[in-house]
Amino acid sequence: MSSTVTPRAPAPSPRHVVPNGTNHRTASFGLNASVLAALLAASSAPTPLYPHYQDAWGLPALTITVVFSAYALTLLLALLTTGALSDHLGRRPVVVGALLVEAASMVLLATAEGAGALITARILQGAATGAATSAAGAALLDLADPRRPGRSALTNSIAPVAGMAAGVLASTLLIRFAPTPTVTVYVVLAVLFAAQALAVMFTTETARPYPGALRSLRPRLAVPPSARRALLAAGAGVVAIWALGGLYSSLGPALVHLVAPDAPQAAGGMVFFTLTAAATLTVWTLRRTAPHRITASGSLAVIPAAALTVSGLHGTGLPAVYAGAALAGVAFGAVSQGALRMTLASLDEQGRAATLAAYHVLSYLSMSLPAIVAGAATQHYGLRTAAHAYAIACALLAVTALAVLTVSRGRTAHRTHNHLP
């Protein structure tokens, strides 16, 4: 994939090109949505397999969180460097190149024989996912249908969580029924990514490339002022729900085993499926609710979700852990959709990929760093203590989010009142 373009005069605004024909637009939209879903399915597929890796290779909890966070941190670096690349090169070449790298990472995961190979594969996967996420998400915005306002933002919210749910469910089922679960799921995903790359090659480019591709690779976050205000207002809520998601995706299976040692191995993976499935349903159910309201409501739901999660360690057992995961999923779906809609509401054609990259940087930073800290705390103080500290931190972040959103809502109402005739 080339990182330069032929210099020419700056392209006029808008910088995107909508494919001719309703059918072509719909097919391209569906394909880019499926790319987002598949990428996030691959990100969550290893979660149910972590106990297997621990047992087979004798890996401690800290190593598992490092494997998990290697993906997230590399994804962050990719977002910081390639987040705006598709604004310069076009959506199609960035997505195709990233999908091919993603397919290669699946092959590495399928053939991994130790923690080092897992970490290497997850680093490669994180780089590919980071490059493709903002490009495919921006393509969805380019393909927005004026007759269906909000569809692109909704799809950017629902495709990732639906993908994560599908990835965990497929991996969990393969653990139960496939003879080689640590190979089968990755081979299926590798074939899927190769097929998607081939399909994207035949779609119409939706962005008008312009010079500056190499310069755009300098790590930076470029968010228009209007989107920046919304992202700052929703930021604490985004941090809270992604941090709680990080607990379930990295240490969820270990938490289930601690609460219910005799539970089947599949129960560990299904707890994260519960979270992501609840998030998917919430995004769809609340798609027409005011974004500020659902962001605040979702932030509030983090508090009982965190409490339910740790109550499982005090005699309430596995039902409380699953109930906490379901409520955490409701919070995740509400906040992620509300924050994205708030951020994208005032955004014009320019800077779409960069703005989505900034949102994902905040999200994955919030998921990966707390997970690493939790893994280290588990190593030194035990999972029980680490889970309590993690839950309290998420609850405090949720309280902060509610305070910030309340102040932001008050300021917006005040400005609106002052501009009334």
Residue 14 has pLDDT above 50, yes or no: no
CB 102 within 8 A of CB 200: no
Q: What is the pLDDT of residues 19-58, one digit of tens each?
A: 555 667 788 899 999 999 999 999 888 888 888 888 888 8
Q: Would 57 be classed as within a structural domain?
A: yes
Q: Is the pLDDT of residue 419 over 50?
A: no
Structure tokens at 279: 């998030």
What per-residue confidence (pLDDT) applies to 3? 34
Q: Is the pLDDT of residue 6 over 60?
A: no
- Other CB atoms within 10 A of residue 149 CB: 10
User: What interhelical angle do 91-110 and 181-201 show, nearest 10?
Assistant: 160
User: What is the average pLDDT across 372-385?
Assistant: 85
pLDDT band for 412, please (50, 70, 90 cuts): low
What is the extent of the structural domain holding 321? 22-415
- For the segment 122-133, the average pLDDT, to the nearest whole number, is 92
| CA atoms lying within 13 Å on the CB side of residue 213 | 19
- Report how far apart, in Å, the C-alpha atoms of 65 and of each of 36, 37, 76, 184 are: 24, 23, 16, 23
Q: What is the pLDDT of residues 226-285, one digit of tens each?
A: 777 788 888 888 999 988 888 887 778 888 888 988 888 778 778 888 998 999 999 889
8 A C-beta contact, residue 249 and residue 272: yes
Distance CA 109, CA 118 (A): 6
Distance CA 133, CA 83 (A): 8
| Residue-by-residue DSSP string for 43-89 | HHTTGGGHHHHHHHHT--HHHHHHHHHHHHHHHHHHHHHHTTHHHHH
Task: Say how far apart CA 207 and CA 349 lie, in whole Å.
Answer: 10
Task: Write the DSSP assignment of 292-331 as a string of letters.
Answer: HHHHHHHHHHHHHHHHHHHHGGGTT-HHHHHHHHHHHHHH
- The helix, strand and coil proportions of the chain, stated in percent and rounded to the nearest 5, come to 80, 0, 20
Q: How far apart are the first and last CA of the chain?
A: 54
Return the closest-CA partner of residue 354 out of 95, 132, 80, 91: 80
Alpha carbon of 337 to those of 204, 235, 329: distances in Å?
A: 28, 13, 12
Does residue 416 surpass a pLDDT of 60? no
Asked, for residue 14, whether it belongs to a domain, the answer is no
Structural domain contains residue 12: no
Inside any domain, residue 291: yes
Q: How confident is the model at residue 126 (pLDDT cuts 50, 70, 90)?
A: very high
Question: Residues 221, 358: contact at Cβ < 8 Å?
Answer: yes
- Nearest CA to 275 out of 339, 334, 323, 239 is that of 323
**Highest-confidence range of 150-159, 168-177, 219-228, 381-390, by mean pLDDT?**
381-390
Q: Kindly report the length of the chain.
A: 421
Provide the pLDDT for residue 99.
96
- To the nearest whole percent, how much of the chain has pLDDT over 70? 89
Q: For residue 175, is it within any domain?
A: yes
Residue 17 located in a structural domain: no
- Average pLDDT, whole number, for the chain? 82
CATH number of residue 395's parent domain: 1.20.1250.20
3-state secondary structure 197-239: HHHHHCCCCCECCCCCHHHHCCCCCCCCHHHHHHHHHHHHHHH
Residues 6+ apart with CB under 8 A from 301: 327, 328, 330, 331, 334
Is 10 domain-assigned?
A: no
pLDDT of residue 18: 54
According to the model, what pLDDT value does residue 334 have? 93
| Measured distance CA(293)–CA(283) in Å, rounded | 13
Residue 345 has a pLDDT of 73
pLDDT at site 410: 61
For the chain, the domain total comes to 1
Q: 11 burial class (0-12, 13-18, 19+ CB within 10 angstroms)?
A: middle
167 part of a folded domain: yes
